[in-house]
Amino acid sequence: MSRQAAITFMSAKTKLVNFSSVKASLASAILPVLGLLVFIGLWNMLAKNIDTSLGQFPGTSAVWEQAQVLHQEHQTQQQKAEAFYERQEKRNADRVAKDPSYQPKIREFTGAPTFFDQIWTSLYTVMVGFFMASLIAVPLGIVCGLSRSAYAAINPLIQLFKPVSPLAWLPLVTMVVSAVYVSDDPMFSKSFITSATTVALCCLWPTLINTAVGVSSIEQDLVNVSKVLRLNAIQHVLKIVLPSSIPSIFTGLRLSLGIGWMVLIAAEMLAQNPGLGKFVWDEFQNGSSESLARIMVAVLTIGIIGFILDRLMLQLQKWVSWDKSTAMR
Amino acid sequence: MSNKIQLELSQVGIDFPTPKGPFTALKDVNLKIAEGEFISLIGHSGCGKSTVLNLVAGLYQSTTGGVILEGQEVNEPGPERAVVFQNHSLLPWLSAYKNVELAVKQTQKGRSKQEIKEWVEHNLELVHMSHAADKLPSEISGGMKQRVGIARALAMEPKVLLMDEPFGALDALTRAHLQDSVMEIHAKLGNTVIMITHDVDEAVLLSDRIVMMTNGPAATIGEILPIELERPRNRIALADDTSYNHYRHEVLKFLYEKQRKVESVEDHRKQRQKNQSDLSSGRLKTGTNQE
State if pTM tops 0.90. Answer: no
What pLDDT score does B288 carry? 38
**Segment B48-91, tens digit of pLDDT:** 889 999 999 999 999 999 999 998 999 899 999 999 988 888 99
A323–B102 C-beta distance less than 8 A: no
User: Which of B199, B116, B122, B112 lies closest to B163 in space, CA to CA?
Assistant: B199
When CB atoms are compared, the residue of B77, B91, B102 closest to A227 is B77
Q: What is the DSSP string of A312-327?
A: HHHHHHHHH-S-TTGG
What pLDDT score does B278 carry? 54
What pLDDT score does B283 carry? 42
Q: What is the DSSP string of B79-140?
A: GGG-EE-TT----TTS-HHHHHHHHHHHH-TT--HHHHHHHHHHHHHHTT-GGGTT--GGGS
Residue spans of the domains in chain A: they are 3-49, 113-328
User: Which of B29, B26, B61, B31 lies closest to B46 in space, CA to CA?
Assistant: B26
Would you say domain B5-82+159-280 falls under CATH 3.90.220.20? no
How far apart are the CA of B227 and the nearest CA of chain A, in angstroms?
A: 30
Residue B271 neighbours by CB under 8 Å, 6+ apart: B46
Residue A70 neighbours by CB under 8 Å, 6+ apart: A114, A115, A116, A294, A297
Share of chain A above pLDDT 70, in %: 93
- Which of B90, B95, B286 is the best substitution to test chain A (most A C-beta atoms within 10 A)? B286
| Cβ proximity of A309 and A255 under 8 Å | no
What pLDDT score does A11 carry? 54
How far apart are the CA of B234 and the nearest CA of chain A, in angstroms?
A: 33
B91–A239 C-beta distance less than 8 A: yes
Amino acid at B120: V
Lowest-pLDDT range, A2-11, A219-228, B110-119?
A: A2-11
Give chain B positions within 8 Å (CB) of A231. 106
Helices B142-155 and B172-189: crossing angle, nearest 10°? 20
Q: What is the DSSP string of B204-253?
A: HHH-SEEEEE--SSSB-EEEEEE--PPSSP-HHHHTT-HHHHHHHHHHHH
A148–B93 C-beta distance less than 8 A: no
Give chain B positions within 8 Å (CB) of A243. 91, 93
Residue spans of the domains in chain B: they are 5-82+159-280, 89-157
HEC per residue, B197-215: ECCHHHHHHHCCEEEEECC
What pLDDT score does B286 carry? 38
* Architecture per CATH, A113-328: Orthogonal Bundle (1.10)
B282–A219 C-beta distance less than 8 A: no
**Which chain B residue has its CA at the smallest distance from A227's CA?**
B77
What pLDDT score does B58 carry? 93
When CB atoms are compared, the residue of B82, B136, B284 closest to A228 is B82
| Average pLDDT of the segment spanning A177-182 | 86
Pairwise CA distance, residues B196 & B203, whole Å: 9
Answer yes or no: is pLDDT of B25 > 70.
yes
Give me the total of CB pairs closer than 8 Å, taking one residue from chain A and one from chain B: 63
User: Which of A218, A208, A216, A217 lies closest to A253 in space, CA to CA?
Assistant: A208
